[in-house]
Amino acid sequence: MAKGNCPECDAKIEIEDPVIREVTECPECGAELEVVEVKGDKIKFSVVELSGEDWGE
């Protein structure tokens, strides 16, 4: 089980045998994250930019 932190809210995220470019969602803030680096059991994520939904703008 590899671990990393969400770049947006610093939540701890665990993924079983992560794959580069795999996309997951942060369980706490819902940010869409992409696995960009895996070193041993350490994962590095980057945020997949979403088109900002602006309800009722």
Interface contacts to other proteins, rule CB under 8 A: 8-11, 26, 28-32, 50, 53-57
Least Å from the CB of residue 24 to other proteins: 13
Pick 11 or 20: Cβ nearer other proteins: 11
Complex with other proteins: residue 8 or 34, whichever CB lies closer: 8
Q: How far apart are CA 41 and CA 48, in angstroms?
A: 22
Find the shortest distance in angstroms from Cβ 31 to other proteins. Answer: 5
Tokens representing residue 38 in the block: 């895996």
Round to whole Å and give the CA distance between 37 and 13: 14
Place of tokens 């994250």: 33
